[in-house]
Amino acid sequence: MIGILRTTFYKILNRYYKRVIIRTCKKYEEPLRVNGQSYVNANTYLGKNVNFNGLKIHGEGKVIIGDNFHSGIGCSLITQTHNYMGNKIPYDETYLYGDIVIEDNVWLGQEVIVLPGITIGEGAIIQAGSVVVKDIPKYAIAGGHPATVFKQRDIEHYNRLKQEGKFH
């Protein structure tokens, strides 16, 4: 009985998080799946088959997320930083903004952090716990702090699955 109540509670909670995202984002396409506390900003554009498992967008910068995106638990996309070049030390009251673009078929592992101004290329995979501080090319598998590319997807295999429409 407790298991059924817990499952029902989480389903209701996830529907709530999905409604919050739909009301907050600039544009989205179904299906949109939200499995865990997730938040976006008003400058967020979501492709179809986006899957959030606990992703939060911090700041007011623009975020574009392509189709078939998956995030692990505890991911953060940071779109603004304090202005350290302003008129006070360590920073002033103004912000610097950087757009984040995540292309189609990208998977972010658990607790990945993406900093402002980053583009993550199509088909890329970012290893859990990584901090993305520079652009990641298409089909790359990257990880670490800072994230660096350590492997490439098999592009022939990737393209075959894409052509066949086999998306999770």
- C-alpha distance across the termini of the chain, in Å: 31
Residues taking part in catalysis: 82
> Tens of pLDDT along 50-107?
999 999 999 999 999 999 999 999 999 999 999 999 999 999 999 999 999 999 999 9
Q: Which two tokens stand for residue 75?
A: 């991911």
Q: Is 168 part of any domain? A: no
What CATH number is associated with residue 118? 2.160.10.10
Q: Is 136 part of any domain? A: yes
Which amino acid type is present at position 31?
Answer: P
Q: Is 12 part of any domain? A: yes
Q: pTM for this structure?
A: 0.94
Using a CB cutoff of 8 Å and minimum separation of 24, what contacts does 80-85 make?
A: 80/116, 81/116
> Tens of pLDDT along 95-144?
999 999 999 999 999 999 999 999 999 999 999 999 999 999 999 999 99
